[in-house]
Amino acid sequence: MVAVSLLLPNVWSFARVRQWRNPLQRASSVVSRRSFSPLSSRNINTGLQSNYSDKAAEAQIPVEQSEIIFIGTGTSEGIPRVSCLTNPIKKCTVCDKATEPGNRNRRSNTSILLRYINDLGRYNILVDAGKFFYHSALKWFPMFGVRTIDAVIITHSHADAIGGLDDLRDWTNNVQPRIPIYVAKRDFEVMKKTHYYLVDTSVVTPGAAVSDLQFNVIKEEPFIVHNLEVIPLPVWHGQGYRSLGFRFGNICYISDVSDIPEETYVLLKDCELLIMDALRPDRSSSTHFGLPRALEEVRKIQPRRTLFTGMMHLMDHDKVNEDLAKLKDTEGLDIQLSYDGLRIPVIRPLIH
Ligand SMILES: [Zn+2]
Ligand SMILES: [Zn+2]
């Protein structure tokens, strides 16, 4: 048994939502959170660094443990890039490595799955279903025993966030009657065009099977998904284009961001685990943070721990992580890159 003091930094909580809530925001939670005990033995977990290639570590996450699974951690085109592998002149080291089975440079579209367990049951809450959703689900769902999709929350309506909505038909045809989708109005308007037959199923030929999705339009204020309070974190994803990050307890997820509006910082207070966009090692793009800007934001937000996501092929997993690890000694910052298949245990709210 590893000492408790070593374990606690690896375990994150959905509880304590009210401690940091912006008083100006509508109190919409119906979740009862009467106590919180980080020392409870059933919440302690040693599986932080577990991954698909380490069955022993995987087994350390108890069945009744809430967790986050990184379904995808890469850019829209995916890593490796096909064009890098077919380039006869220039060799791309990262994309080459990404072809090796189990290599952490292999990345599909950004997405996480919250396996959330409360007293009513266990719920698989997916954030985004992008172009590569089918391939990601094929790889991780059977491996991690994920059967149902109990909700999908959408960050924005780019193809790498919603391109997999059509593939949800496998679930609504064969696993469950329907899937609730939580989406901002502007992105729902886009879906009416890109996925018109899923929004208005009356246009579908009788007998043809399409995903049965139940759309819930969300505003930039807290909403409840299976008794879990979700706080939208509005950010800019390119000039004039809004994307949403989400806060679950003390975990903040921002996958697509080029700028953070001042009013969103208050929602990021006391964040213990920050999962944030970091596209490339040298600079930001017009739509995404690069590593220097992402680090600047981490210093400003001051989360207890940070995992970057949305990395392109210029980000070598081991090399960048080695550099980031030095920040722990120099600045006390706990920052690493995430990778597809990474599982992070989460403490569930305790209810008497
Ligand atoms: Zn490449
Ligand atoms: Zn995007």
**Which residues are paired to 66 by β-bridges?**
346
Query: Ligand 1: distance of its center to the CA of 99 in Å?
Result: 11
Spatial CA neighbour of 228 closest among 110, 124, 344, 303: 124
Q: How far is the CA of 318 from the centre of ligand 1 (A)?
A: 15
pLDDT at 208: 84
Task: Note whether 336 and 327 are within 8 A (CB).
Answer: no
List, for the chain, all residue ranges whose pLDDT scores fall below the cut of 70.
1-11, 14-63, 348-352
- Taking the CA of 158 as reference, the closest ligand is 2
Helix axes 317-331, 291-301, angle to 10 degrees: 40
d(CA 193, CA 7): 47
Q: What is the pLDDT of residue 226?
A: 92
Ligand 2 centre to CA of 72 (Å) is 14
Beta bridge partners of 276: 254, 308
The helix/strand/coil state of 130 is: coil
> Among residues 328, 334, 277, which one has the least CA distance to residue 304?
334
Q: Which two tokens stand for residue 166?
A: 């059509």
Q: How far is the CA of 179 from the centre of ligand 1 (A)?
A: 35
The bound ligand whose nearest atom lies closest to the alpha carbon of 80 is 1
Does the global pTM surpass 0.95? no
How far is the centre of ligand 2, averaged over its atoms, from the C-alpha of 257 (Å)? 8
pLDDT of residue 60: 55
How much distance in Å is there from the Cα of 314 to the middle of ligand 1? 7
Phi and psi at residue 144, to the nearest 5°:
-105, 10
For tokens 């959703």, the residue is 133
Can you give the pLDDT at residue 25? 38
CA 219 to each of CA 8, 222, 232: distance values in angstroms, whole numbers, following the listed order: 34, 8, 8
Ligand 1 (single-atom ion) residues, CB below 5 Å: 81, 84, 92, 95, 313
Nearest to 312 by CA among 165, 160, 100, 139: 160
Could you tell me if residue 207 is left (phi over 0), alpha (psi between -120 and 50 degrees) or otherwise beta? left
Q: Which ligand is located closest to the Cα atom of residue 279?
A: 2
Q: What span, in angstroms and rounded, lies between the C-alpha atoms of 255 and 266?
A: 18
The bound ligand whose nearest atom lies closest to the alpha carbon of 254 is: 2
86 alpha carbon, closest ligand: 1
Task: Look up residue 318 and give its DSSP letter.
Answer: H
Contact 193, 167 (CB under 8 A): no
**Topology annotation, domain 4-347:** Metallo-beta-lactamase; Chain A (3.60.15)
What is the Å distance from ligand 1's center to 227 Cα? 42
Distance, CA 108 to ligand 1 centroid (Å)? Answer: 13
pLDDT at res. 63: 57
Q: What is the pLDDT of residue 64?
A: 73
